[in-house]
Amino acid sequence: MFEKEKQQIVNMSLRLYNEKLIVGTWGNLSMRLKDKNGEELYLVTPSGMEYEDTKIEDLVILNEQGDIVEGHRNPTSELKMHIKIYKSINNINAIIHTHSTYATACAVAGVTIPMMVEDMIQHIGGDVRVAKYALPGTDELASYAVEALKERNGALLKNHGVIGIGKSMVDAYKSCILIEKSAKILIYAKILGHVHLLSTEDAEKMIEYYNNKYGQK
């Protein structure tokens, strides 16, 4: 069941690992699915497994209550956060949580990534906020993540990492990679001495263009 979607997650996990957006067993991925009766399901990565060794059969499918309906592994320890985001944001179908270096540096410093580069603004929908700190795997972290993601496709988790969301697994990946790239630019720009921000008016125009005209629409 859902073999295509499982392969997408395995492939993306390896991509994230090879690009050093995730390290070892940290970070997690999920997809929102529908069964033949239209019931919502969640396909998630297993807890504490090396991504370079993770196979399709290691993935776990759960229902809206968080009960396992397929799979023999323990699901990701951040399951509460994934389910809370899906239940709070209707138009997304994929979530990626990474611990990438530059973005996590901003998260540790509690520094919002401002509206300074076009691609990040267009895809994320504005600045990248820092969610309030809570212990991993808790209801509090889930709630803070949802708050930071309001009208955004990505956020920083304070002292923790990055959360990227999207309509597809590729969209969620774009959120994570753009946040990491923008965090790196922010740090380098601060070293150079000045960060020039784009105006809210220009940002709104770029987001409107990206959502309605950019690409092969």
* Residues recognised as catalytic: 78
Helix (H, G, I), strand (E, B) or coil at 133: coil
Q: CA 93 to CA 161: how far, in whole Å?
A: 20
Q: CA 64 to CA 39: how far, in whole Å?
A: 8
Read off the tokens for 185: 């630019």
Confirm if 176 and 157 have CB atoms less than 8 A apart: no
How would you list the strands of the sheet with 154-157, edge to edge?
68-70, 60-63, 40-44, 28-34, 94-98, 161-166, 154-157, 130-131
Show the DSSP H helices in 161-199 as ranges.
169-192
| Nearest-10 Cα torsion for 49, 2, 176, 18 | 50
> Quick one: which of 26, 6, 7 has its CA closest to 16?
26
Q: CA 148 to CA 52: how far, in whole Å?
A: 30
Q: CA 52 to CA 11: how far, in whole Å?
A: 10
Read off the tokens for 60: 């776990």
